[in-house]
Amino acid sequence: MYDVVVVGGGHNGLVAACYLAQAGRRVLVCDRRARPGGAVNTEELFPGFRLDTCSTFHILIHLTPILAELDLARFGLRYMRHDPVVFAPFPGGRALVFWKDLDATCRQIATWSPRDAETYAQFIRKWWHFNKPVFDTFLAAPTPGNLVGRIARQTLRDLRAGRHDPSMTGLELLRQTLTSYGRLLDETFETPELKAALAWLAAQSGPPPSELGAGDLLGALVVYHKVGLTRPVGGSGRLADALVACLAHYGGTFQGGEAVRQILVRDGRAAGVELAGGRRVAARAVLSNAHIQTTLLDLLPPDAVPAALRRQVAALRTGNGIGMTIRCAVDALPDYGAYCYDGAGRALDAGTRVHAGMQLICPSVDYLQQAYEDAAQGRPAARPALVVMTPSALDPTLAPPGQHVLYIWAQYHPYELRAGGAAAWDTIREQEADRLLATLGAYAPNFPGAVRERQIYIQSPLDLERNTGFVHGNIMHLDMSLDQMFTFRPLPALSGYRSHLPGLYLTGASTHPGGGVSGASGRSAARTVLADLARPGRR
C-alpha cells in the first residue's frame, strides 16, 4: 500500500512526487519508459552525442521556488545562462539580437528604430507589472478570485506608489489580452523585423498571430528579460535525473519500463493502478501526470466517468498538432557570417555569441501566418518558421571536441494530413526534415552539409504522440487558447487538480498553468493531495 501512486514520470509528476515524499508520504512513480522525465530527457542518440529529445531551455521553473525548496543543486542540478537570448537574421544581411539585459536589447533595436527601442522598453516594463501577479498564480489553484485578486492588488500598489499608467488601465489590459498578438504588434511597433521576431517567440505556445485572445502571449515575453535563457549543464534531462535522486533521498521510488494499464477504482474512489504486466499496486491516492484525455478516457474504467464528462473531455481542443522537431549531430555550427550586422548595417560586436541562444528563422509576420494557413489546410508549411538551438556552443559536455548538437523546432505542421491522415507522416517525415535543413541553409550555407552522415533524430507530430504521449502531437497537451487557460484548464470542474473521482488527482501540461518546463502544476497538485490526505474523508 502506497500513499500515492503517480502515473507518468514527466517533470511535473516527478516534482509532485518529490514534495509528497519530502512530506513523509510513501510514493511510487510509474512510467512506461525506462528513462524518467518524459519531455525533459537527454539521451546519447548517436555515439558521443547527448541530445535533448524534446525540451531544451528551461525558463518558467525559475519563477517558482521549486529548485530551492527541493534543493536540487544538492542532487547535481546546475543551470547555465545562454546569452544573447535571441539571434534573428533577416534577408538583406542584418540581424536582431535580444539579450537578457533590457538596455542592451534596446540599444540593438535602436539601430533599427530609435522609436521602437523606446517603445520596447516601455512595453516590457508595463507588461511585467501586469504579468507579475499572473505568474504568481502559477503557484496556486487557478480560481477566478486568485487571478483577479492578485491583479487588483498589484494595480492598487501601483496607484499608491504613483506608478499608474493610463495606457495600462484594467479595461485597456483586458482589450490587449483579448486581441491577437499580430494586431498588438501592429499597434505598438513599426519595424517589420522586430514584429516578426516577437511574433515567432509568441507563436511557440501554438496560437497564430491572428488568433483572438492571445495578446498576452506577447506580454509574457518579459520572462526573457527577467529570467533569461537557461538550461541544465549536461542537457535538459539533468533536471529529471536530479528529481529522481531527490525522490530516492526522501524514500520514494521511480519505476520505469512498464506502463500503467488501468487506474483501479474501488467503492467509488481511485484505489491504485494495474501495470501492463498485470501487477496491481494499491494506493490511498492516484496522481496522473498523463494527458487529461488519456487519464479519463483510456485509463479509467468507462463506468467511472459520467457520460457528460466523457463528452466534455473528448471535446477538449488538442489541436491538429503544432510543429515538428529534428535533432542532429553536426560537424560545425551554422555559418551566419553574412547576417552578423545590426539594423544600421554595422558589424555586430565581436563578442556576440550568435549561437548561444535561440536562432530564429522567420522573416515576417505574414510568413508565420502563412505557415499556419498551410497547416490549417492539412499540409506541412511550405516555408516553415524555425527555432534553431545549438546548446553545445556553450556546453562542451554534449558532443565530441570540435563537433556539436543542433536542434530545430519548426511550425506549423498538422498531425492529421489532408492526404493520408496522420499515418502519412511515416512516408513524408524524411522529406520534411530535409525541408527544415534547407530552410536553415538559406541563412547558413554550410547546412545541410554539416550534418553527420544522416545522424538526424526526427520527431513528426505523429512521432511526438508515439514517443512522448502528446495527443495529436500537441506539446502543450491542450491548445493554449484563452478559453483553455487558468480556471478553464482543462475544464472548470477539474481545474483545481482534483478530478471528479475521489482519490484521483491531476497534474501536467493539461492542467494550470499549461505547457513548458515550470513544475508549477506538480507543486500545486502535491499540495492539494497532501491537504486531502491530512483530512481523511475530505475526498
pLDDT tens digits, residue range 192-243? 999 999 999 999 999 999 999 899 899 899 999 999 999 999 999 999 999 9
Under the banding of pLDDT at 50, 70 and 90, the label for residue 337 is: very high
- Selecting from 3.30.2320.20, 3.50.50.60, 3.40.30.10, 1.10.10.10, what CATH number does the domain 2-46+235-317+477-533 have? 3.50.50.60
**Residue 216 CB-density burial (10 A; 0-12 exposed, 13-18 middle, 19+ buried):** buried
Count Cβ atoms within 10 A of the Cβ of residue 452 and give its class: 0-12 exposed, 13-18 middle, 19 or more buried. middle
pLDDT of residue 537: 64
CATH of domain 319-472: 3.30.9
Q: Phi and psi (nearest 5°) for 475?
A: -65, -15
63-110 pLDDT tens trace: 999 999 999 999 999 999 999 999 999 999 999 999 999 999 999 999
pLDDT above 90 covers what percent of the chain?
86
Does 148 score more than 70 pLDDT? Answer: no
20: helix, strand or coil: helix
Rg (CA), the chain: 23
- pLDDT for the residue numbered 173: 77
User: Lowest mean pLDDT: which of 156-170, 286-300, 382-396?
Assistant: 156-170
Q: What is the pTM of this model?
A: 0.94
Q: How far is 23 from 135, CA to CA, in rounded Å?
A: 25
How far is 391 from 358, CA to CA, in rounded Å? 9
pLDDT of residue 151: 59
> What confidence tens digit (pLDDT) does each residue in 305-331 have?
999 999 999 999 998 999 999 999 999
Residue 160 clears pLDDT 80, i.e. is over it: no
Tell me the backbone φ, ψ of residue 216, rounded to 5 degrees: -75, -10
Over range 425-444, report the average pLDDT: 98
| Residue 285: strand pairing partners | 4
Mean per-residue pLDDT for 424-444?
A: 97
Across the beta sheet with 86-90, the strand order is 94-98, 86-90, 358-361, 385-389, 404-411, 323-330, 451-459
Neighbours of 307 (CB within 10 A): 9
Q: What does the pLDDT read at residue 535?
A: 87
Where in the sequence of the chain do the CATH 3.50.50.60 domains occur?
2-46+235-317+477-533
* CA–centroid distance for 487 within its chain: 19
User: Tens of pLDDT along 241-298?
Assistant: 999 999 999 999 999 999 999 999 999 999 999 999 999 999 999 999 999 999 999 9
pLDDT digits (tens, 9 = 90+) for 17-45: 999 999 999 999 999 999 999 999 999 99
Over 70: is that where the pLDDT of 156 sits? no
Q: Are 65 and 140 in contact (CB under 8 A)?
A: no
C-alpha cell at 352: 556576440
CATH 3.30.9 segments of the chain: 319-472
> Does residue 138 surpass a pLDDT of 90?
no
The residues facing 389 across adjacent strands are 358, 407
33: helix, strand or coil:
coil
